[in-house]
Amino acid sequence: MTQEEALREEYRKSGYQELCPEYVREERFLPMRDGIRLHTFLFKPELPGKKSVPVILQRSCYVSHREILEVHGAELAKRGYGFVFQFCRGIEESQGEWVPNIHERNDGIDTVKWLAAQPWAETIGYWGCSYLAAAGWAMADAVTGYVASMVLTHYGTDRFKSAYEKGMFRQDVLTSWSMQNCGWEVNADYDQVCRYMPQKEVDVALWGGEVPWYREYVCNTRKEDAYWQQGWWKQLDEIPEKTRIPLLIVEGWYDHHLGSALEAWKKLNPGSRAHSRLILGPWNHGFEVCIQGQKTENAKNSEIRMMLEWFDETLKEKKLPQEEVRTYQIGEDRWQTWESWEKREKQQRIFYFDFSKGSLEETAPPDPGKASYVYDPEQPVKSWGAESCLYTWDSIGSLLQPPPGERTDVITLLSLPLSEDLRICGKIRAELFVSSDCEDTAFTAKLMRVTPRGEAYHIRSSITTVSQGSAAGEDYLPGSCIQVNIDMWEICCTVKKGERLRLDLSSSNYPEYHIHCNYRGVWGEQGKKRKALQTLYSGKEAPSRILLETEETR
């Protein structure tokens, strides 16, 4: 089955029937405020006795979306919607120069205002996933009175959070996307690209030309940097608090924009939030269920169904939804509904590390323990079971993990079998007491559930640097013991009675994150690397531990 055939089948199974077989398809080149004309496609249903219809708008930067967007146009028109899609400037036959993100706000606003002036447009909604959602977010605060609601899936407005985790670049997402969207075809070896030093020069060295916006990504590693605190990225970060229209925000537990999207939800203006909905499911960036070793019969993943349900309510019925959060509980194969995600009742479970026993304990061990390993940047730990990947698509999700002991640079801790279900629902943080013989380095943590048969499945992972994850920061003295904090994205996952928790600690997770070279400084400018001797500590004086937000089991 082709992608187009699968999409038509998804519409057929959506539960929303065809209302009319006839529609009109047109193509236009809409003028923007600066005279640039953008290639725009219009699908208008022919409904007897109706002069105007609800319209759904979508804007795309992907030429490969042409056939898919044609299917959306036909299927939505048959269900009584007008559908308008447009290629961003410099893409396909649209005029102008392609520069990611920069023109989406003005071009989107101009398109919406043109559409609102058309007599056949009764109400307007915007729908987009990933970059197409970014194009919606770009104008969300400026289209009140023109757009009734939006469906924004798998994207958020905090671009820094999508790019970095405490100094570590989400390389598998942004390096691969930049390679594929720099404006020309790149055929370089991906692993060679990711390992190239200095990374800011990889574009000229291996891609065939300079890509200024990628260089800015890899050389601005702190949220405080001017690059993130002015211009478009600052404006985008502030849009949620200025937005007034209802939004349906949909995210996957294993989508690389989850952290940014949750930040956007938390910042959403109360006037918008009161009529918006957040759905968090067990999906990757492509709405595929990526949970192994668990029942997932109720893991509904139809973006089409969710979109039609929302627009029938907000465009056709012209209702204002009430705030609602729906989350999928991995391990229980069920959905639950919350009036508020932030104000839900939360508890906390703590497991302390005991490196002398290789265990996770529910009480802090009184005696000191430690474990050491050598981290070699030439031999990084490969990402498998991940939440922030794109190029290595198959590594995403709650996947079966390798058995412990396969690598000497990975320290494994195991809990006893749980005496009752452990329902993780929220944030996870690992607090490590560590030392290194380098002035800066990285530490990683990966949490898993282990079945009685010994099979381990990924739950969450994350990373930190000494320079951005500790109080010592840039002043760290090699050899000294300090605390570093590793923060993981939120999740709803139940570890069953009789199962164990497993935690793997190391210093690399590649290519989900770039390989730390063990030198201090901006990673994109680094030109050399060295090995690091890492030591982890436990005990009364160094209480390394992991903290889990939980919900009381029923």
CA-to-CA separations, 174 to 268, 296, 513, in angstroms, rounded = 25, 30, 10
* DSSP one-letter code for 394: G
CA-to-CA separations, 484 to 307, 371, 427, in angstroms, rounded = 42, 16, 17
Q: What are the φ/ψ torsions at residue 429 (nearest 5 degrees)?
A: -135, 135
What is the crossing angle of helices 303-311 and 3-12, to 10°?
A: 50
Torsion of CA 519, 523, 526, 529, to 10 degrees: 50
Q: How far is the C-alpha of 546 from the C-alpha of 526, rounded, in Å? A: 32
Torsion of CA 362, 367, 433, 260, to 10 degrees: 0
Q: Which residue has the tokens 């004309």?
A: 37
Q: How far is the C-alpha of 518 from the C-alpha of 520, rounded, in Å? A: 7
Q: For 203-268, give the DSSP string.
A: IIIIISS--HHHHHHHH--STTSHHHHSHHHHHHHHSGGG--S-EEEEEETT-TTHHHHHHHHHH-
Q: How far is the C-alpha of 35 from the C-alpha of 39, rounded, in Å? A: 13
Global pTM value: 0.95
Token pair belonging to 451:
């079945």
Question: Which H helix or E strand runs over 249?
Answer: strand 247-252
CA-to-CA separations, 132 to 5, 74, 76, 411, 424, in angstroms, rounded = 22, 19, 17, 41, 32
Given the candidates 3.40.50.1110, 3.40.50.11540, 2.60.120.260, 3.90.650.10, the CATH classification of the domain at 347-550 is: 2.60.120.260
Token pair belonging to 382:
């490969």
What is the CATH code of the structural domain delimited by 3-160+234-338? 3.40.50.1820
Q: For 416-431, give the DSSP string.
A: PPPSS-EEEEEEEEEE
Nearest to 369 by CA among 353, 383, 380: 353
Nearest to 108 by CA among 134, 135, 73, 146: 135
Give the pLDDT confidence score for residue 344 in this predicted structure.
Answer: 85
Length of the chain: 554
Nearest to 192 by CA among 179, 182, 210: 179
Give the pLDDT confidence score for residue 553 in this predicted structure.
Answer: 55
Q: How far is the C-alpha of 245 from the C-alpha of 148, rounded, in Å? A: 6
Give the pLDDT confidence score for residue 436 in this predicted structure.
Answer: 98
Q: How far is the C-alpha of 424 from the C-alpha of 524, rounded, in Å? A: 36
Q: For 57-105, give the DSSP string.
A: EEEE--GGGHHHHHHHHHHHHHTT-EEEEEEPTTSTT--S---TTTTHH
Angle at 420 between CA 418 and CA 422, to 5 degrees: 80
Q: Are 61 and 89 in contact (CB under 8 A)?
A: no
Nearest to 461 by CA among 435, 493, 496: 493
Q: How far is the C-alpha of 102 from the C-alpha of 96, rounded, in Å? A: 12
Token pair belonging to 21:
């077989």
CA-to-CA separations, 289 to 1, 62, 298, 333, 363, in angstroms, rounded = 19, 24, 10, 12, 36
Token pair belonging to 7:
């999409």
Displacement of CA 44 from its chain's centroid (Å)? 34
- Report domain extents, the chain: 3-160+234-338, 163-219, 347-550
Q: Are 204 and 210 in contact (CB under 8 A)?
A: yes
Token pair belonging to 60:
């795309």
Q: List pLDDT tens digits, range 56-85.
A: 999 999 998 899 999 999 999 999 999 999
Q: Taking the CA of residue 278 as centre, how many other CA atoms within 13 Å lie in the half-sphere pointing to its CB?
A: 24
Give the pLDDT confidence score for residue 20 in this predicted structure.
Answer: 87
Q: How far is the C-alpha of 196 from the C-alpha of 265, rounded, in Å? A: 36
Give the pLDDT confidence score for residue 47 in this predicted structure.
Answer: 80
Q: How far is the C-alpha of 210 from the C-alpha of 230, rounded, in Å? A: 23
- What is the tally of helices (H) and strands (E) in the chain? 15, 23
Q: What are the φ/ψ torsions at residue 77 (nearest 5 degrees)?
A: -60, -40
Torsion of CA 363, 368, 373, 374, to 10 degrees: 130
pLDDT lower than 50: segments of the chain: 554
Q: Are 431 and 503 in contact (CB under 8 A)?
A: no
Residues in Cβ contact with 252 at an 8 Å cutoff, skipping those fewer than 6 apart:
154, 258, 280, 281, 282, 283, 284, 285, 287
